Amino acid sequence: MDRNTFTGLFLIMIIIAGSVYLMKPTDAEIQKEKQRVHLDSLKKAGKNPVQAVVHSAADTAAKPAIDSAALKAPFGASLAGGEQLITLENKDIRLKISTRGARVYSAELKNFKTFDKKPLILFDGTDNKFGTTLTVGSTIVNTNERYFGQVYTDGSNTVALRLSYSPTQYIDYVYTLPEEGYKVAFTVKPVGLDGVVANSDKFNLNWESNVRKQEMDMALERQYSSVFYNTFDDGVDYLSETKDDAKEVADHKIQWVSFKAHFFSSVLIAKNGISKANMAVSHDTSDHVHIKEMKANLVVDRAANGTFPMEFYFGYNKFDFLQTQGYDLEKQVDLGWGPLKYINRFAVLPVFHFLEQFNWSYGLIILALTVILKLVLSPLTYKSYLSMAKMRVLKPEMDEIKAKVGEDNPTLLQQEYLKLYKKAGVNPLGGCLPLLLQMPIVIAFFRFFPSLFELRGESFLWMHDLSTYDAFVKFGFTIPFLGDHLSLMCVLMTISTLIYTYFNNQISGVTGQMKYIGYITPIIFLGALNSYPAGLNYYYFLANMFTFLQQYIIRLMVDDKKIHAQIQENKKKPESTKKKSGFGAKMEEMMRQQQQLQGKKK
């Protein structure tokens, strides 16, 4: 072998050795590859594994030096360490568990996106605090600041993290994620600490979260967000959604506490209950990233086996889906107040979900829902129109009475009107009462549509998202009462309401101030509903359109001449044969009393 050949081979060996050393995989990469091989083997076996991946995370703040005395204190060894993030993942959610505090570091819903198409993360990093305070003698240990050791990760769906007091005395936090779904089991297992930690039969949990903005309209999102809780005795209650609020519950045992946003929730369910809770909600209007800050200091009760079994729900607020999760979680969804919620729950929602089976767009579903409701309410609409037609036919006679009596004595004028109504067999409120009976549905929808998860992200025509407003015009500045935009569907709804008011006035023959009040109300609604969901304004618009159609059809069926003839026949009937309404009797008595009072004053 000549000198040049030897030199070449020697250099090649150096390059190979250097490459092997420099390209050697790190321990984390080796662990990741083992994890990948394990997951591949599970997939080949026909399983849908939950992924558990471990990776390091640098602490955001520089760690202060730890003196030897602190290390020798109770749980002192947990002051030293580095933060690692362990990922538990199934087909629906991706959770990162931090070894610092053994808390859920972040929660991502994989099947959903934010309004601007970014990953939907309920909280991340310092957005969420979760831990307990342990009292050992005179030492107070905050687990949020302690590093838990990893007991095991089985490569599929469970991770256990340990905070050690001694080799035989410790606390384990165990997280178990099923292969699908939005729940994760969470169990705290203290071992050998009954004589060490004060009040070891209770788990004093401090949970805080800065809930992130997910929707386009932050104002509406805040309006439907707060801390909710469910007691075993009194059911679901919540803190104020419109202002900062705080509440202590100690007289009723609580089953779960929820940090509820508009369409998504983080819920902690205590299997053995929560004996005491201090909850608070607040928000900073200058913060354009988080909608509200929510806090809950909870005293969780221990189970018979000495553990604290709990469960998290990180998911979406769809009424029928929450029903399948149990624990009355669906009662977080705002379906309206009082009897209105029963209209939405037992009448509107079943019809809505029935129409979903046809796989129509939600714009068509709202259209079909409107048609069904209008058909159901058509008898009331007919009675209302007929009553207004009777009043219109009577108007010439009422004008004669007004000219004869004059306007100086309104009490006498009303008495004469009542006599005319009685003779003609007409109820002056007959046109209003059917409309009042329909009002609960109108109001119920005012709460129903903004809470309807089904509309989130659903487009129809020019409306990109039926769960929020359609900003047809953006001003670039804020106009009082209207906001920074103009919703086209709200404008169309307002125009249709004004047209409806005009034709309604023609039918009823209303005059004076009442005539103009009907035109002012739609303008007020323009400002009030401009930032409400396009789906709600779309429904109101459709309702007006179908009312026009109904009135046109009814007008073809109703003959004013026949009504006039019937009124004249009623006038000829003896007073004894006429049915006297309770309303008429009360009005007559009221008018008589007013007339007497006026006579005494004179």
Show me where the domains of the chain are located: 49-333, 342-584
The upper half-sphere exposure of residue 475, i.e. CA atoms within 13 Å in the direction of its Cβ, equals: 10
The pairs formed by 291-294 with CB atoms below 8 angstroms and a separation of 24 or more are: 291/211, 291/212, 291/213, 291/218, 291/221, 291/222, 291/225, 291/261, 291/262, 292/210, 292/211, 292/222, 292/225, 292/226, 293/208, 293/209, 293/210, 293/211, 294/208, 294/209, 294/211, 294/226, 294/227, 294/259
> Residue 491: is its pLDDT beyond 80?
yes
44 pLDDT band (50/70/90 cuts)?
very low
Measured CA distances, 402 to 406, 409, 416, 417, 508 (Å): 5, 10, 9, 9, 18
Structure tokens that stand for 238 in this block: 């919540």
Domain boundaries 49-333, CATH class? mainly beta
pLDDT number for residue 196: 84
Q: Work out whether the CA dihedral 50, 52, 57, 59 comes out positive or negative.
A: positive
pTM of the entire predicted model = 0.78
Exposure class string for 468-489: b at 16+ Cβ within 10 A, else e = bbbbbeeeeeeeeebbebbbbb
pLDDT number for residue 381: 80
> Residue 46: is its pLDDT beyond 50?
no
What CA–CA distance (Å, rounded) separates 165 from 136?
Answer: 10
Pick 503 or 173 by higher pLDDT.
Answer: 173
CB 321, CB 251: distance < 8 Å: no
Helices (H) and strands (E) in the chain, counts: 16, 21
Q: Look up residue 414 and give its amino acid.
A: Q
What CA–CA distance (Å, rounded) separates 172 from 189?
Answer: 5
Best CA proximity match to 334, nearest among 251, 239, 224: 224
Ordered strands of the 84-89 beta sheet: 51-56, 84-89, 93-98, 104-113, 119-124
Best CA proximity match to 241, nearest among 219, 216, 257: 219
The rounded percent of the chain whose pLDDT value lies above 70 is: 77
Dump pLDDT digits (tens) for 294-305: 999 999 999 999
Interacting residues of 185 by C-beta distance below 8 A, sequence separation 6+: 174, 175, 176, 177, 309, 310, 311
328 pLDDT band (50/70/90 cuts)?
very high
The upper half-sphere exposure of residue 73, i.e. CA atoms within 13 Å in the direction of its Cβ, equals: 18
CB 281, CB 251: distance < 8 Å: no
Interacting residues of 250 by C-beta distance below 8 A, sequence separation 6+: 275, 276, 277
Dump pLDDT digits (tens) for 390-427: 777 777 777 777 777 776 777 777 777 777 777 777 77
Pick 588 or 463 by higher pLDDT.
Answer: 463
CB 537, CB 489: distance < 8 Å: yes
Measured CA distances, 68 to 71, 137, 164, 165 (Å): 5, 19, 17, 16
Task: State mean pLDDT over 562-590.
Answer: 61
Q: Work out whether the CA dihedral 192, 195, 198, 200 comes out positive or negative.
A: positive
Q: What is the mean pLDDT of the chain?
A: 80
Dump pLDDT digits (tens) for 202-231: 889 999 999 999 999 888 999 999 999 999
